[in-house]
């Protein structure tokens, strides 16, 4: 959540923590040159020359991107390189290129103006998308546009910067990030950018601390100013005092020491000191995340956000396309399990159509859409069932608010199963099904829903905003958006106990499962599976392995008796610090 304070020349800005780590250093202000494109008329007899200018620029751009790839190949993984390969594919797109050439011929317009207009069209469609991931991709389209235009205008690329600096910029493209890393930069801080932007993903692979979404950092800094970038908490401090530098130095050291210790935990079970075992799995959205979670010692995938397959497509992928993706995932993670959540479109996520809703979070979302678009739903269920023959796939329905939705979804699933039996198609007949508990009415019905299902998984991200009536994107009420709200905790406790009364499995896939402050409490409440973001997995395991179930139960009991979020938070912080004194917690 953005905030800024100014104190005696020192400025502290909070943005979005994008890549973990703490660095100090001098700032390097990298303000992008605005590329100027004039629309000019050309003469008919200069068309061939204009086409040659265009073709040379495309060739040169491809050469530059290949150079970036060869450099990047030694620095980051295969996934990250795909960003640049995709840009090369755009350059090699014959239809696009022919379209541009015919516009040059037909409109008698200079190459850069046509490139500008053609690419800006795509860019603005993407910028207006409701989905953050697509909006972020617009910057990559801009990058390729600017690269071609710069090459048409024969401007030299200026990515050479000083060594050992923190780059401060309005926004960085993936290409910038890779090229800057050649100069051993220390980290970066940008006005714009989101957690899913390619430059952010690259920063994480390059292990460069980064904070994005700082809105106006470029306006608050001079070239060469001393900076602290805290990529854990998303804080950037401009012109820090000596005391602060000392404090952050200690913090940095603590993080190093702690992370070092965590490495040894990878192959240890997630069990308490008194041998109570829980499952520690991961939330993922893209197949490329699987190697990371395996490296972290994850016990399968507790939440696969299948919207991942929609992101790069402009239409809903076919059953076959979905099957290929789900099957690859199931094969990669086998023999461990993968819980595939059916499409949770709507709300703040992707939309199939450009529909406008007054309250999208309360609108046409998740299972509601699936039950209204039965063909699409059946296609997805078919794809999931086909991928289930290894018996390691489970299905989970999102945004369920009532019993009848579960009955309806189960009926559709059994129709698809029957169809498969009739056609002799292999699938796991006993495939487990569950639902995300993220709507208060479903939470209150947990016991009854559990009777109908194999498992429930608490989705605290949505549940929190609905239980508290707090829009998680509204800064004015952000201080109320606290997962340690006593009302929410009591509801979670009820969901866990009601599900267990039915002898069904209870998991949590919302962010609370990955909050170290909540671990002891959740163990004490009887949670059986924690599905978390891969980065935090070793830390949560460390906490689980440092406590006893008996003690965690006492902690949970006391926490549930407290009446304010702040008391609960302080109490849990004290408990955690007592058990693991060197654990680095956010301020």
Contact indicator for 436, 486 with CB cutoff of 8 Å? no
The reply on whether position 509 binds ligand PEP by CB under 6 A is yes
The reply on whether position 462 binds Mg ion by CB under 5 A is yes
Contact indicator for 464, 485 with CB cutoff of 8 Å? yes
- Pairwise CA distance, residues 234 & 227, whole Å: 13
The reply on whether position 140 binds Mg ion by CB under 5 A is no
Per-residue DSSP letter, 172: -
Per-residue DSSP letter, 32: P
- From 20, 187, 209, 459, residue interacting with ligand PEP (rule: CB under 6 A): 459
- Pairwise CA distance, residues 239 & 12, whole Å: 9
Residue 305 binding target from ligand PEP, Mg ion, none, CB below 5 to 8 Å by type? ligand PEP
Q: Locate 62 and state its tokens.
A: 């491809």
Inter-CA distances, 304 with 16, 242, 255, 330, 337, Å: 23, 45, 29, 11, 11
Cβ distance to Mg ion smaller for residue 72 or 338: 338
29 catalytic per annotation? no
Q: How far is the CB of 492 from Mg ion (least distance, A)?
A: 15
Q: Could you tell me where the DSSP H helices lie in 351-402? A: 366-372, 374-386
The reply on whether position 462 binds ligand PEP by CB under 6 A is yes
Residue 18 binding target from ligand PEP, Mg ion, none, CB below 5 to 8 Å by type? none
Interaction residues for ligand PEP, span 302-331 (CB under 6 A) = 303, 305
- From 209, 231, 510, 534, residue interacting with ligand PEP (rule: CB under 6 A): 510
Q: How far is the CB of 50 from ligand PEP (least distance, A)?
A: 48
Element (H, E) at 235: strand 235-238
Q: How far is the CB of 584 from Mg ion (least distance, A)?
A: 28
- DSSP secondary structure string for all residues of 400-423: --SHHHHHHHHHHHHHHHHHHHHT
By CB under 6 A, the count of residues binding ligand PEP is 10
- Pairwise CA distance, residues 209 & 229, whole Å: 7
The reply on whether position 131 binds ligand PEP by CB under 6 A is no
Cβ distance to ligand PEP smaller for residue 69 or 488: 488
The reply on whether position 461 binds ligand PEP by CB under 6 A is yes
Contact indicator for 440, 467 with CB cutoff of 8 Å? yes
Interaction residues for ligand PEP, span 329-348 (CB under 6 A) = 344
198 catalytic per annotation? yes
3-state helix/strand/coil string of 479-510: HHCCCCCHHHHHHHHHHHHHHHHCCCEEEECC
The reply on whether position 460 binds ligand PEP by CB under 6 A is yes
Among residues 29, 276, 356, 509, the one annotated as catalytic is 509
The reply on whether position 113 binds ligand PEP by CB under 6 A is no
The reply on whether position 438 binds ligand PEP by CB under 6 A is yes
Residue 510 binding target from ligand PEP, Mg ion, none, CB below 5 to 8 Å by type? ligand PEP
- From 440, 459, 534, 538, residue interacting with Mg ion (rule: CB under 5 A): 459
- From 80, 143, 230, 438, residue interacting with Mg ion (rule: CB under 5 A): 438
The reply on whether position 534 binds ligand PEP by CB under 6 A is no
If 0-12 CB within 10 Å is exposed, 13-18 middle and 19+ buried, where does residue 524 land? buried
Contact indicator for 166, 23 with CB cutoff of 8 Å? yes
Footprint of ligand PEP (CB under 6 A): 303, 305, 344, 438, 459-462, 509-510
Catalytic residues: 198, 509
Residues at the site binding Mg ion, with contacts judged by CB under 5 A: 438, 459, 462
């Amino acid at each position: 959540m953005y905030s800024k304070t100014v104190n005696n020349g020192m400025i502290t800005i909070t943005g979005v923590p994008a890549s973990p780590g703490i660095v100090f250093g001098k700032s390097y202000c990298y303000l992008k040159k605005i590329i100027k494109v004039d629309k000019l008329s050309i003469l008919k007899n200069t068309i061939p020359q204009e086409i040659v200018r265009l073709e040379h620029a495309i060739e040169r751009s491809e050469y530059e991107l290949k150079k970036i790839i060869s450099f990047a190949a030694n620095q980051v993984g295969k996934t990250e390189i795909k960003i640049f390969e995709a840009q090369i594919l755009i350059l090699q797109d014959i239809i696009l290129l022919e379209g541009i050439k015919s516009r040059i011929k037909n409109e008698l317009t200079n190459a850069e103006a046509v490139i500008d207009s053609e690419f800006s069209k795509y860019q603005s469609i993407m910028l207006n998308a409701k989905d953050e991931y697509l909006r972020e991709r617009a910057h990559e389209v801009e990058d390729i546009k600017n690269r071609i235009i710069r090459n048409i205008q024969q401007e030299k690329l200026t990515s050479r910067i000083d060594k050992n600096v923190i780059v401060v910029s309005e926004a960085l493209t993936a290409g910038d990030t890779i090229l800057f890393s050649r100069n051993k930069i220390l980290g970066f801080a940008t006005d714009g950018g989101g957690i899913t932007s390619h430059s952010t993903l690259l920063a994480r692979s390059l292990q460069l601390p980064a904070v994005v979404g700082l809105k106006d950092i470029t306006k608050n800094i001079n070239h060469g100013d001393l900076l602290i970038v805290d990529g854990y908490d998303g804080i950037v401090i401009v012109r820090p005092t000596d005391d602060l530098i000392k404090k952050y130095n200690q913090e940095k050291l603590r993080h190093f020491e702690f992370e070092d210790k965590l490495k040894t935990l990878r192959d240890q079970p997630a069990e308490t000191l008194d041998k109570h075992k829980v499952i520690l799995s991961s939330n993922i959205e893209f197949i490329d995340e699987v190697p990371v979670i395996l490296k972290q010692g994850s016990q399968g995938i507790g939440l696969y956000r299948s919207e991942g397959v929609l992101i790069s497509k402009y239409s809903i992928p076919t059953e076959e396309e979905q099957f290929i993706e789900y099957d690859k995932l199931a094969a990669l993670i086998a023999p461990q399990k993968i819980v595939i959540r059916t499409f949770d479109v709507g709300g703040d996520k992707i939309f199939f159509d450009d529909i406008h809703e007054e309250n999208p979070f309360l609108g046409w979302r998740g299972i509601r859409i699936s039950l209204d678009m039965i063909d699409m739903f059946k296609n997805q269920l078919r794809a999931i069932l086909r991928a289930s023959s290894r018996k390691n796939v489970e299905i989970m329905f999102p945004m369920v608010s009532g019993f009848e939705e579960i009955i309806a979804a189960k009926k559709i699933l059994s129709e698809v199963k029957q169809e498969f039996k009739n056609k002799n198609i292999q699938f796991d007949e006993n495939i487990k099904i569950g639902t995300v508990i993220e709507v208060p009415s479903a939470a209150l019905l947990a016991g009854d829903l559990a009777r109908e299902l194999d498992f429930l998984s608490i989705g605290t991200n949505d549940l929190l905003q609905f239980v508290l009536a707090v829009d998680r994107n509204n800064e004015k009420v952000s201080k109320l958006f606290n997962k340690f709200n006593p009302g929410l905790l009591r509801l979670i406790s009820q969901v866990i106990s009601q599900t267990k009364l039915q002898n069904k499995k209870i998991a949590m896939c919302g962010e609370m499962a990955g909050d170290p402050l909540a671990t002891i409490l959740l163990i004490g409440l009887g949670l059986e599976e924690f599905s978390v973001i891969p980065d935090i997995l070793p830390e949560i395991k460390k906490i689980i392995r440092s406590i006893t179930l008996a003690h965690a139960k006492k902690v949970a009991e006391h926490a549930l008796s407290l009446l304010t979020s702040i008391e609960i938070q302080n109490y849990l912080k004290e408990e955690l610090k007592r058990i693991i004194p060197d654990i680095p917690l956010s301020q």
